């Protein structure tokens, strides 16, 4: 059995790793880190473990691993082949696509939405507030709103004909896609009707592994901030 330590940042991408370890029934040591109460950023202490100081960080048998997708792939390759489609199948192609799409395509506009949303509420001189809000509104209108609509229409179309992202069974792709979808739905960054996506989210949240991750690392309310 591998020696695994998870450095978990509250309300962050590292929830996915706790969830995966529960799905794999792998024991681990949990070290919880708190976000800064004002900036919502990860503490500087994480940089002592990995130079970027971003969660998730997992130490497996002395080897430090970072990046959600890389950690998920590593753990599934080593301990959970049942959580990935068989090589050479159409499902395997979908699996790899969604595993990379989550952070490569979907998270960037969500992060922009978060940043400009905070701009509206950040304390500043009263005469600057209308300018800041106007800039945020223009960015949303010109970029984030249409971009997120395109992305979530695309996701909705896929999930309307697939129970999960890589076919008919739950895989690591669903774990990886969970964070941006939760960030969008629960963070108020996606308001259009997406019944198939909502049904998928309810379905994966009902898994015992999800509940185990929440019990271990706290509620996953997903502030959407940089980890």
Q: Which residue has the tokens 């890589």?
A: 166
Domain boundaries 90-207, CATH class: mainly alpha
Show the low-confidence residues of the chain (pLDDT under 70): 38-39, 116-139, 141-142, 187-192, 221-227
Specify burial of residue 181 (Cβ count, 10 A radius: 0-12, 13-18, 19+).
buried
pTM above 0.85, yes or no: yes
If one looks up domain 4-84+213-217 in CATH, what number appears?
A: 3.40.30.10
Say if 4-84+213-217 and 90-207 have the same CATH topology: no
Position 224 scores a pLDDT of: 44
E-strand stretches of the chain? 4-9, 29-33, 57-60, 63-66
Position 89 scores a pLDDT of: 97
Position 36 scores a pLDDT of: 73
Position 114 scores a pLDDT of: 76
Position 205 scores a pLDDT of: 96
């Amino acid at each position: 059995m591998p020696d695994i330590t998870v450095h978990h940042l509250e309300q962050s991408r590292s929830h996915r790793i706790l969830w995966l370890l529960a799905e794999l029934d792998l024991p681990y040591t949990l070290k919880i880190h708190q976000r800064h109460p004002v900036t919502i950023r990860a503490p500087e202490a994480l940089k002592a473990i990995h130079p970027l100081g971003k969660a998730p960080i997992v130490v497996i048998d002395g080897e430090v691993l970072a990046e959600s997708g890389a950690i998920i792939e590593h753990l599934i390759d080593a301990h959970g082949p049942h959580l990935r489609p068989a090589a050479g199948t159409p499902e395997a192609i979908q699996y790899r696509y969604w595993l990379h799409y989550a952070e490569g395509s979907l998270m960037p506009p969500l992060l922009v939405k978060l940043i400009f949303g905070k701009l509206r509420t950040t304390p500043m001189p009263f005469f600057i507030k209308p300018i800041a809000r106007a800039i945020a509104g223009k960015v949303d209108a010109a970029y984030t709103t249409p971009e997120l609509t395109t992305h979530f229409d695309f996701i909705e179309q896929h999930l309307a004909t697939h129970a999960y992202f890589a076919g008919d069974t739950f895989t690591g792709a669903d774990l990886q896609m969970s964070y941006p979808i939760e960030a969008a739905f629960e963070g108020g960054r996606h308001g259009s009707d997406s019944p198939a996506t909502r049904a998928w989210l309810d379905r994966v949240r009902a898994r015992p592994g999800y509940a185990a991750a929440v019990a271990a690392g706290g509620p996953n309310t997903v502030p959407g901030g940089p980890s």
